[in-house]
Structure 1
Amino acid sequence: MTFSAIRPDEATPFRIIFVCTGNICRSPMAEITLRDLVTRSGLGRLIFTSSAGTGDWHVGEQADARTVAALKRQGYDGSHHRARQFDPVWFADYDLVVVLDRTQERILRNWAVSDRDRSKVRLLLSFDQEQASLHDVPDPYYSDDALFDSVLGMIEKANLALFAQLEPAIRQGVR
Structure 2
Amino acid sequence: MGNKKSVLFVCLGNICRSPSAHGVFEDMVAQAGLSGLVSVDSAGTAAYHIGKSPDQRSSAAAANRGYDLSSLRARQVSASDFEAFDYILAMDNENLANLQAIAPQDYDGHLGLLLDFAQCVESEVPDPYYGGESGFEHVLDLVENASMGLLVDIQKKLMA
1:56 aligns with 2:47: yes
2:36 to 17, 28, 45: 45
- Partners of 1:37 and 1:90 in 2: how far apart? 22
Gaps of 5+ in 1: 1-5
1:7 to 2, 13, 16: 2
1:127 to 108, 117, 130: 117
2:82–2:104: 8 Å Cα contact kept in structure 1?
Answer: no
Amino acid at match of 1:160: M
Please report the TM-score for the alignment, with normalisation by the length of structure 1.
Answer: 0.87
2:43–2:76: 8 Å Cα contact kept in structure 1?
Answer: yes
Q: Per-residue deviation at 1:164?
A: 1.6
Q: Per-residue deviation at 1:89?
A: 2.0
Aligned to 2:135: 147
- Partners of 2:29 and 2:110 in 1: how far apart? 20
Summarize deviations over 1:89-121 as a string: whole Å, max 9, x none. Answer: 22011111011000111000011121425x531
2:5–2:154: 8 Å Cα contact kept in structure 1?
Answer: no
Amino acid at match of 2:127: D
Gaps of 5+ in 2: none
TM alignment of 1:93-172, pairs within 5 A: 93-116=84-107, 120-128=110-118, 130-131=119-120, 133-170=121-158, 172=159
- Partners of 1:114 and 1:168 in 2: how far apart? 26
Q: Per-residue deviation at 1:18?
A: 0.3
Q: Which has the larger radius of gyration?
A: 1
- Partners of 2:81 and 2:8 in 1: how far apart? 9
Amino acid at match of 2:43: A
How high is the sequence identity, in percent, across the aligned residues? 36
SS at match of 2:7: strand
Please report the TM-score for the alignment, with normalisation by the length of structure 2.
Answer: 0.95
- Partners of 2:61 and 2:22 in 1: how far apart? 14
